[in-house]
């Protein structure tokens, strides 16, 4: 299955071959890709998705990102000016959103920066205690949620996403890959800023959300209010990464870190994964995209 997928991608976009081939030479990444495709086969079979559909979704995502990057280079601005426009153009469009999420899910196993983030997340939750209640904000392609459910076997998990397409995709993936966990999941199509709950969460996952909104600090502040005193938050976002639905432009990693501190958090651990291997000075000067992930805890008063 892997050979079919890669051959199809390379034939239709030869520029991808060099990038992916270099990444796949790293230890264990081929095993990770094979494991993903094997487990994902169950979901694809039930959903009527072929390996070529998955490849087309990935190629479509790459094309969208290239277009956004060209526009960003020309104007210095992200393609989506407001969150409402991103919602109308992407999140409320099931076909567009599903295809983009399928492509993004696959990129966790083909791109060094996305793989680094996924590995960081898996390592960060490896010792989570299966106690309390858990929250995921923005389930997206469902792979981080699936990973959480392999560690949490008893506790309930609330899942909030503004996109019905994203929730549908996540439900289908969990039903196919972790069916015994579905009864512990509570899906809510809602904006996290209007979310009202009586619960406090011992662990919150919010991956690749802050760059999709106009006021990311408000989200971090709202999450602090529903985090237990000793709870942790996994957060990821990016700097200089224009794409189909990104709204808020973080220009530097320090801007991200400053916002985290302003919201009342300390960074317990972090990962920085740039799209290119060069100095931070050059990355910022050339506005090369950088992925950032961190585990946060409440700042001591």
Over 70: is that where the pLDDT of 297 sits?
yes
pLDDT band at 56 (very low <50, low <70, confident <90, very high): very high
In angstroms, the CA 258 to CA 262 distance is: 6
Q: Which residues neighbour 226 within 8 Å (Cβ) at sequence distance 6 or greater? A: 135, 195, 197, 199, 200, 201, 204
DSSP 8-state class, residue 147: H
Per the CB < 8 A criterion, the answer to whether 154 and 186 are in contact is no
In angstroms, the CA 246 to CA 240 distance is: 10
pLDDT band at 278 (very low <50, low <70, confident <90, very high): confident
Query: Would you state the pLDDT for residue 301?
Result: 66
Query: Would you state the pLDDT for residue 300?
Result: 79
In angstroms, the CA 205 to CA 215 distance is: 18
In angstroms, the CA 244 to CA 42 distance is: 28
pLDDT band at 181 (very low <50, low <70, confident <90, very high): very high
Count other Cβ atoms within 10 Å, centred on residue 165.
21
Count other Cβ atoms within 10 Å, centred on residue 173.
24
Q: Which residues neighbour 178 within 8 Å (Cβ) at sequence distance 6 or greater? A: 146, 149, 150
In angstroms, the CA 91 to CA 138 distance is: 11
pLDDT digits (tens, 9 = 90+) for 104-133: 999 999 999 999 999 999 999 999 999 999
Q: Which residues neighbour 98 within 8 Å (Cβ) at sequence distance 6 or greater? A: 57, 165, 168, 169
* Rounded mean pLDDT, 194-199: 92
Q: What are phi and psi of 98, to 5 degrees?
A: -65, -45
Q: Which residues neighbour 266 within 8 Å (Cβ) at sequence distance 6 or greater? A: 296, 297, 298, 299, 300
Query: Would you state the pLDDT for residue 277?
Result: 86
pLDDT band at 34 (very low <50, low <70, confident <90, very high): very high
Q: Which residues neighbour 262 within 8 Å (Cβ) at sequence distance 6 or greater? A: 217
| List of domains in the chain | 2-107 (no CATH), 112-298 (3.40.50.150)
Angle among Cα 92, 96, 97 to the nearest 5 degrees reads 60
Please state, in angstroms and as integers, the Cα–Cα distance from residue 194 to each residue in 3, 188, 221, 276, following that order.
45, 11, 13, 38
């Amino acid at each position: 299955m892997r050979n079919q997928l890669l051959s199809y991608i390379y034939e239709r976009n030869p520029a991808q071959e060099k990038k992916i081939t270099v990444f796949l030479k790293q230890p264990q990444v081929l095993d990770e890709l094979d494991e993903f495709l094997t487990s994902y086969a169950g979901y694809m079979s039930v959903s009527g998705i072929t390996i070529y559909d998955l490849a087309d979704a990935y190629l479509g995502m790459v094309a969208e990102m290239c277009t956004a990057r060209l526009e960003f280079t020309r104007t210095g601005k992200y393609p989506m000016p407001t969150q409402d426009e991103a919602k109308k153009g992407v999140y409320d469009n099931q076909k567009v959103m599903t295809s983009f999420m399928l492509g993004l899910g696959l990129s966790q196993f083909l791109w060094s920066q996305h793989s680094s983030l996924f590995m960081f997340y898996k390592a960060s939750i490896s010792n989570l205690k299966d106690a309390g209640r858990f929250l995921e904000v923005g389930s997206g392609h469902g792979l981080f949620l699936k990973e959480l459910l392999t560690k949490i076997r008893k506790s309930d998990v609330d899942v909030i996403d503004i996109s019905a397409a994203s929730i549908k995709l996540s439900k289908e993936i969990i039903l196919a890959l972790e069916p015994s966990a579905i009864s512990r999941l509570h899906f809510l199509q809602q904006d996290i800023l209007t979310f009202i709950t009586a619960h406090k969460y011992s662990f919150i996952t919010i991956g690749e959300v802050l760059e999709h909104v106009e006021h990311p600090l408000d989200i971090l502040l709202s999450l602090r209010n529903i985090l237990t005193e000793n709870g942790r938050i996994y957060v990821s976002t990016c700097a200089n990464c224009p794409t189909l639905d990104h709204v808020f432009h973080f220009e530097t990693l320090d801007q991200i870190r400053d916002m985290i501190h302003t919201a009342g958090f300390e960074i317990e651990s972090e990962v920085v994964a740039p799209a290119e291997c060069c100095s931070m000075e050059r990355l910022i000067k050339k506005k090369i995209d950088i992925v950032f992930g961190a585990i946060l805890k409440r700042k001591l008063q």
